[in-house]
A and B are shown apart, each in its own frame.
Chain A
Amino acid sequence: MRKSVFFSVAAATALVAGASVAAEGDTLAQVKSRGELLCGVNTGLVGFASPDANGNWTGFDVAFCKALGAAVLGDSSKVKFVPLTGQTRFTGLSSGEVDVLSRNSTWTFSRDTDLKLDFAGVNYYDGQGFLVPKSLGVSSAKELDGATICIQTGTTTELNLADYFKANNMEYRPVNIDSNAEGEQQYMAGACDSYTTDASGLAATRAAFANPDQHVILPEIISKEPLGPIVRHGDNNWGDIVRWTLFALIAAEEYGVTSANIEELAKSSQNPEVQRLLGTTDDLGAMIGLDKEWAKRAIAASGNYGEIFAATIGEQTPIGLPRGLNAQWTQGGLLYAMPFR
């Protein structure tokens, strides 16, 4: 009898030990054996990541996950989107709940080092702004002394806000909220005078209002918020795959590869870099454990960076963000894909 107790305890121990080890290790192998990419996204920010009435996720961050799913699994529909709040996102990534986090997250020193995350690159250069109703009669953030401000907890914007008001010797009352949806609700109900987050997020939030033209984003941008996809620290090959999928989307725009002409260019392009990118010559895919056409599939999934931008958050969409800093380096922006060779 004693023996059976001992053995069952030992067996349970081994089971738990096995399960905890599975959270680490070779992410690529796990994704392939699972046949599904788990992608952490915003709980709902129109333009970046939001589910439609049928539960299909769309948006700028979602399109990146689809491209990654296409590159790794050959099918952009094999992505499962896991909505994570500002407070749960990094824990979700660290604990293996998602394979990659594509969720308006700012690349900061402590997150990169102390939180043991790896940023794969920047897919949106952003900065923190303030949204106010026009009726408030405020035209500058410097006039917000004494205002009540809605702020998402656990974000870099929370820290910037405290610093900005301190530096300008102003006071404010924070209203702590948990998600963008809650922020929108509180702001619309007038529970705060201003809502602050990344300017892109403000534009996206405003676009969802019934009458967006009654709200303005103040001109002050009080911080640098480089947003990009994140992976766990330690799995360098998986990090490479995510990083170079992002570069593939950016490079495709630079070289004029679009979802429309990709098949044609794969056959006929004379540009050696395009040939390597699309897998016509050389075999870059093998170096990261994928096949030759990984990048081609990634670009074909939702188009190149410019196409994704235009379709989800660009000036033709209700969100109406200009390319600004997010234009190609050849167009005076900051987007710069490392060479494919």
Chain B
Amino acid sequence: MTDSLPAAPPAPPFRPGMLIYDRRYRSLTFQVIVFILVMSLAWWLIGNTVENLSRLGKDIDFGFLFNRAGYDIPQQLIPYDSDDTHLRAAVVGLLNTLLVSALGCIAATLLGITAGVLRLSRNWLFARLMTIYVETFRNIPLLLWILIIYAVFTEITPAPRAYQGEDGRQLILGLVAPTNRYTAIPAIVAEHSPGVLELGRIHIPWLAIMFIGLLVAAVVIRSAINSRARRIQGRTGRRPVTWWINLALFAVPPVVLWQVFGLHLELPALAGFNFKGGISVDNSLVVLWLALTLYTGAFIAEIVRAGILAVSRGQTEAAYSLGLGPRQTMNLVILPQALRVIVPPLISQYLNLTKNSSLAIAVGYMDLRGTLGGTTVNQTGRELEGILLMMLVYLAISLIISGVMNLYNRRVTLKER
């Protein structure tokens, strides 16, 4: 108890010179210095901006977001009119950005995987066609593609008025009317509508909720059935027949809804200047979506090709020797392994596509850049605040996308046991 440990040798006294000459402290010293310099530069930049603004008689104030916006937006996912605030206009724009980005990411992935696989195909024609596609879209700036596709849509399609009169144009299949402003397509309406769910000013038809609910249920049940089939196959070696259950899962609910609520198509019809009834899909959305899809699809095709080439040739040979066909080999052996290489650069492409959607202004699609960063900033003169907000929002979107995709990446990476 009283036996004490020998005292530790006294540490050498600390001298300021050691901050530079002692290797233990040196790296720390420099990091502190650089940190202070960077922080003072940032501090000075912010201070300088604020001072210059105040010298111009401007202050930094986000109050403008709650003033009346006063302008209209052609396409809106939530109700909006010119009496609403700039903030709501910005949200409308943000939703438009998210809409075109989500549609773009899905379509570009499908296109990219197809083109990437086909480029490696042994079919000479397919492979060359895909090479031409990839090289033209990859090497010409996106803005030009947007403008070219926009010009094609505007110049080739007729004005809505061309559909009027006795000898006017006919709707394609009597259903679809492409015009130089929008494409009018039929809407699905119910004869005995179950009404709408009112969330403030947002009205969602119960029918849509039911349909989505049934769809989700079908997907969940399908995966349960499939995993049960796998278990039985693993135990007995015989897989129960499931295809008719799966088919019924997806086919029966719509038929039931259709019968119960008397669903029918509402055809677009010309009334006055424009089509009324049906759904009018703005050309600006279609053009932007198409351009983003084709452009990003070309990059994704290259990523997919690289991923497939990264899987050793022996894997294919092994699969063939087990009796798998080329299709099964690709789907069950090659692609799952290639995903490890594909997913990280794919995340970057999704981020690029989302950020590139801000080129929407070229076709008058009112996304976040068009509402908050365009008209709002211009009508209120709050450039700095508007741009700062926009940067924050894009940053947040990008971080969320890459966060979610990284979760997915962790699932498909090689698990070594």
Residues of A within 8 A of B (CB): 2, 5-6, 9, 13, 16-17, 20, 23-24, 86-87, 90-91, 94, 110-111, 114-116, 136, 144-148, 153-154, 158-159, 161-163, 166, 172-178, 186, 189-193, 232-234
Q: Which residues of B contact A234 (CB under 8 A)?
A: 56-57
- Once bound together, how far apart are the Cα atoms of A222 and B199, in whole Å? 36
Contact flag A154-B48 (CB < 8 Å), given A116-B57, A191-B154: no
- Could you list 13 further interchain pairs (A-B, Cβ under 8 angstroms) beyond the known A114-B380, A173-B74, A176-B375? A9-B37, A110-B380, A114-B381, A116-B381, A136-B161, A146-B273, A146-B276, A147-B274, A153-B375, A166-B81, A176-B364, A178-B361, A189-B155
**Residue of B81, B159, B379, B380 touching A190 (CB-CB under 8 A):** B159
Would you call B366 an interface residue if the criterion is a C-beta within 8 Å of the partner chain's C-beta atoms?
yes
User: Are A146 and B272 touching (Cβ within 8 A)?
Assistant: yes
For A232, the chain B residues whose CB sits under 8 A away are 56
B55 in the interface (beta carbon within 8 A) = yes
Minimal beta-carbon separation of B192 from chain A (angstroms):
28
9 contacts between A and B (CB under 8 A): A9-B37, A86-B378, A110-B379, A146-B276, A153-B71, A172-B72, A173-B74, A174-B74, A178-B361
User: B41 interface residue, CB < 8 Å from A?
Assistant: yes
A128 CB → nearest B CB, Å? 14
B82 in contact with A116 (CB, 8 Å): no
Per the 8 Å Cβ criterion, residues 28-83 of B in contact with A are: 33, 37, 41, 44, 48, 52, 55-58, 70-74, 81-83
**What's the count of A-B pairs with C-beta under 8 Å?**
112
> What residues of chain B lie closer than 8 Å to A145, measured between beta carbons?
272
- Known contacts: A110-B381, A163-B82. The answer to whether A24 contacts B55 by CB under 8 A is yes
- The minimal Cβ–Cβ distance linking B328 to chain A, given in whole angstroms, is 49
Whether, in the assembled complex, B266 has its beta carbon less than 8 Å from a beta carbon of chain A, the answer is no
Complex Cα distance A156/B72, Å? 13
Whether the pair A162, B378 counts as a contact (CB closer than 8 A) is no
The B165-200 residues at the A interface (CB cut-off 8 A) are 180-181
**Are B378 and A87 interface neighbours, CB within 8 A?**
yes
Q: Chain B contact residues (Cβ within 8 angstroms of A): what range?
A: 35 or more
List the 4 shortest-distance A-B pairs measured between CB atoms, nearest first. Answer: A154-B378, A115-B381, A162-B82, A190-B159
B381 A189 Cβ-Cβ under 8 A: no
Q: Which residues of B contact A178 (CB under 8 A)?
A: 361, 364
Assembled-state Cα–Cα distance A148/B364 (Å): 13
Task: Kindly identify which residue among B57, B375, B381 contacts A111, using a CB–CB cutoff of 8 Å.
Answer: B381
Q: Collect the chain A residues with CB atoms within 8 Å of residue B158's CB.
A: 190
Given contact pairs A24-B56, A159-B379, A191-B154, A176 touches B366 in the complex (Cβ within 8 A):
yes
Nearest chain B CB to A32 CB, angstrom units: 22
Tell me, yes or no, whether B370 is within 8 Å of chain A by CB: yes
Residue B278 lies at the interface, judged by CB distance under 8 Å to chain A: no
**Is B374 in the interface zone, CB < 8 Å from A?**
yes
Given contacts A145-B272, A159-B70, A175-B364, whether A233 and B181 have CB atoms under 8 Å apart is no
